[in-house]
Amino acid sequence: MPTFVYMTRCDGCGHCVDICPSDIMHIDTTYRRAYNIEPDMCWECYSCVKACPQYAIDVRGYADFAPLGHSVRVRREEDKGTIAWRIKFRDGTEKNFLSPITTKPWGKHIPKLADVPGPNKDMRQSQNLYNEPKYLRMDEGGLHTLEAAGLSMKEGVYY
Amino acid sequence: MAYKTIVEDGIDVLVVGGGLGGTGAAFEARYWGQDKKIIIAEKANIDRSGAVAQGLYAINCYMGTRWGENNPEDHVRYARIDLMGMVREDLLFDMARHVDSAVHQFEEWGLPLMRNPKTGAYQREGRWQIMIHGESYKPIVAEAAKKSADQVFNRICVTHLLMDDAKQNRVAGAVGFNVRTGNYHVFKSKTVICAAGGASNIFKPRSVGEGAGRVWYAPWSSGSAYGLMIEAGAKMTQMENRIVLARFKDGYGPVGAYFLHLKTYTQNCLGEEYESNWFPALQKMVGKEYLDPEVSHRTHRPIPTCLRNHCIINEVNAGRGPIHMVTMHSFQDPHLEEVGWENFLGMTVGQAVLWAATDVDPKNENPELTTSEPYVMGSHATGCGGWASGPEDVSPPEYFWGYNRMMTVEGLFGAGDAVGGTPHAFSSGSFTEGRLAAKAAVQYINDGKADGIRVSDDQIERRRKQIYAPLERYRVYRNEIVAGDVNPNYINPRQGLSRLQKLMDEYCGGVTVNYMTNEKLLNICLKKLKIMEEDLEKLAAKDLHELLRAWELKHRHRTSECVTHHTLFRKETRWPGYYYRGDYMKLDDENWHVLTVSRRDPVTGEYTMEKAPCYHLVGDLEDKALAELKAKEKEEEKQAEPVVGE
């Protein structure tokens, strides 16, 4: 639901402007702080809320169907690999949730494919992709082909 | 205007759109083309862009062959049943046989996949879905793409593909502008992998005012995959096959985990099961082959998504709405309650916000469901997209022209929403399609197919003028009026979007007409879209943000036009619950067991429509259980016959 920015917390750093997938977090030229310029193109994806170092961005449910008096706050900690949510209902009920966001140190286990041994001619001519066939089943089996799957082309055409 | 022209030359693989399809493409391209120049052009910031920007709580396409769960051909059957027969089985089979290797890599990269503590296998949500803690799904795959690409250009709105001036119907790159600096970007490339998105917001949404942002598919999914490819003269397929979703009301929170994992179910306002009441009449519309509740019940064959929508729509129209999701039983279990909430927080936070705002606790009450406005995309339970070549070892001649996932424009490849006839790819399947396209694109270059490409200065200059025209128009006419947005010389992008949504809704089968259309309505629709195209030449943008919206609108408009042509062409109601052709209310296998293919002539703007064969790779029998069942039925019939005779 549309985001808004607290005047006293925002320092105009622009992290939200940089991350917003919808290009709707902009810096107000008078106040030098961020705001949502187009609430009806906001998907409440929380990308800007998570990215704000000052916790200055919050969300107020869409005016056309969400009554006032609720809050859903989030704290995403990349170094800990966790995300914490607090949901506050209009009637005051609270719910808290904590989930992992990654199981590995950030980016360390993603290979740089420019540096791995490159494919040979046979691999180029096969149907396999990088790391296949091994990663298909984490065993020594091969890729499924039509024949291997016992399949043949069947006419299904009616004009 | 003092915007610079920035030319990026000598690119081998240009990836347009850095979502799940694009990240898969860029990642894989580096392996097969270690010496190649790989560039990504992304409209937003690749760390949080595309439909998965917000995260996902499940990977909806995973075979689990490793655990002995499913084989690729099982998935082909499933997708075919769900789409009422209309799929590209070669592309589906190809995606399904590779998808697990993508998922296994995601786990190695750090994506938290849940495990079933008893079996050690991934935690299943349903037969095809596995559960994940996917808040950082997008940043993780973005990291992989960044490690492979030479450069990622963020905040570039790609407006057009560049075409080769030396050889007809061959791609030569793309152009666009930087949403921040305004600079004109020219990417000269040997191949282009179109991995841009499908379309939200082309049919009027149920929400009004501020709430219009709460669409099911991301509001930034502007149909650019289709806008770019149609403009370049690529053939499109199954564009009539838009999707309507049954979701939690207003928030459009996902229901998959609720149905499959939490074992919730739906009922009407009287607390009654309603679906089966509509099946007999529905069976008359679509035939027993497509809806056989008894067999479905006994063999766990799923009822197609569109047909379940049909039941909701009709039950509500009969005055027994709202439809409720019965959550109160499951949510008494604290573990399942946690899963239910985290499901929203992981991918549709807005639904949690809405329930908090309205004090809906699914433990204490059963939330409402509704059917959404239609969406045009190609990776969920729908298969809109480009007409792409399949893999060499699987595809019949009509589906194969040299390179896997290459469109009918040479050197133009697709992934994700861009590829037609491949529903149920979801995130992992889109990433996989990107990988397949990348390998083929590198091969295309190595085979010398991209040699001798020439892009004239004239083409580059022509596109530049077109791109900035809305800014110029605003500058010229703005001061003719005192203030405000009402101007006889132009419309702004928001005004144009409202017009598009209204006419698509009313004439092409949106929510306000209960998804109903016919030949007369569709012809009016085309006429209005044509007039709108003239007005789009008079779009005005007061700044770069509005210029972005202007080009998104043009892509949405082109998508809508194609959707309307396809809807007009297919003279049957193939997917009741997605849309209805009032003049042909039955499914017609005799004439329409075919895929629809269109091409828009880039010069004249005329569309040609054709039927393409719909091949079935796998047999009609859904699984062993059904085969046994049918054998048993035959046996019983045989035994029963003499008795009848007597």
Could you read off the pLDDT of B82-135 as tens digits, one per residue?
Answer: 999 999 999 999 999 999 999 999 999 999 999 999 999 999 999 999 999 999
Per-chain mean pLDDT for chain A: 93
Put simply, the answer to whether A100 touches B112 (Cβ < 8 Å) is: yes
Contact between B441 and B193 under an 8 Å Cβ cutoff? The reply is yes
Question: Which residue among B85, B110, B353 sits closest to A61, beta carbon to beta carbon?
Answer: B353
The pLDDT score that the predictor gives to residue B643 is 47
Residue B185 reports pLDDT greater than 70: yes
Mean pLDDT of the region B26-50: 98
B161's tokens: 């593909």
- What is the mean predicted confidence (pLDDT) over B181-189? 98
Q: Contact B345/A99, CB-based, under 8 Å?
A: yes
Q: Tell me the per-residue pLDDT of B463-498, one tens digit each, with 9 for 90 and over.
A: 999 999 999 999 999 999 999 999 999 999 999 999
Q: Is pLDDT above 90 for B28? A: yes
Q: What is the mean pLDDT of chain B?
A: 94
Report CA-CA distances (Å) from A24 to A16, A39, B180, B499.
9, 8, 12, 22
The pLDDT assigned to B617 comes to: 85
For residues B47-61, give the mean pLDDT: 97
Burial letters A117-142, b for 16+ CB under 10 A, else e? eebeeeeeeebbbbbbbebbbeeeee
- Rounded Cα distance, B641 and B421, in Å: 43
User: For B278-303, what is the mean pLDDT?
Assistant: 91
What does the H/E/C string look like for B315-357? HHHCCCCCEEEECCCHHHCHHHHHHHHHHHHHHCHHHHHHHHH
> Which two tokens mark A50?
């998570």
Q: Is B611 on the interface with A (CB under 8 A)?
A: yes
Verify whether residue A43 is a known catalytic residue.
Answer: yes
Is residue B570 within 8 angstroms of chain A, CB to CB?
no
- pLDDT score recorded for residue B644: 44
Task: Report pLDDT digits (tens) over A122-159.
Answer: 999 999 999 999 999 999 888 888 777 777 766 666 55
Nearest CB to A43; choose among B93, B210, B213: B213
* Contact residues, A window 37-56, toward B, CB-based 8 Å cutoff: 37-47
In order of A120, A122, B177, B181, B340, the CA distances from A126 in angstroms are 10, 6, 39, 44, 43
Predicted pLDDT of residue A128: 96
Q: What is the pLDDT of residue B262?
A: 86
pLDDT tens digits along B400-439? 999 999 999 999 999 999 999 999 999 999 999 999 999 9
pLDDT reading at B646 higher than 50: no
pTM of the model: 0.96
CA–CA separation, B423 vs B261, rounded Å? Answer: 22
Mean pLDDT, range A31-44, rounded to an integer:
96
Contacts with B, A 103-132, CB within 8 Å = 103-107, 109-114, 116, 118-119, 124, 127, 129-132
Task: Determine the pLDDT at residue B645.
Answer: 40
Higher pLDDT, B636 or B191: B191
B591 closest CA partner among B615, B571, B567, B616: B571
Instruction: Give the pLDDT score at B258.
Output: 87
B56, B196, B379, B516, B570 from B202: Cα distances, Å: 24, 16, 17, 16, 20
Of B120-124, B180-184, B329-333, B499-503, the range with the lowest mean pLDDT is: B329-333
R_g of chain B computed on alpha carbons: 24
Residue B514, pLDDT above cutoff 50: yes
B443–A99 C-beta distance less than 8 A: no
Could you check whether the bond before residue B322 is cis, i.e. omega within 30 degrees of 0? Answer: yes
Q: How far is CA B593 from CA B106, B175, B220, B522, B598, in A?
A: 38, 39, 34, 22, 16
Nearest of A45, A39, A43, A50 to residue A16 by alpha carbon:
A50
pLDDT of residue B78: 94
Please check the confidence at residue B385 and state whether its pLDDT lies above 70. yes
Asked if A43 lies within 8 A of B616 by C-beta distance, the reply is no
The answer for residues whose C-beta is within 8 angstroms of residue B411's C-beta and 6 or more apart is: B164, B170, B171, B172, B190, B191, B192, B441, B444, B449, B450
Quick check: helix, strand or coil at residue B256? helix
**Length of chain B in residues, anyone?**
646
CA dihedral defined by B246, B248, B249, B252, rounded to 10 degrees? Answer: -80
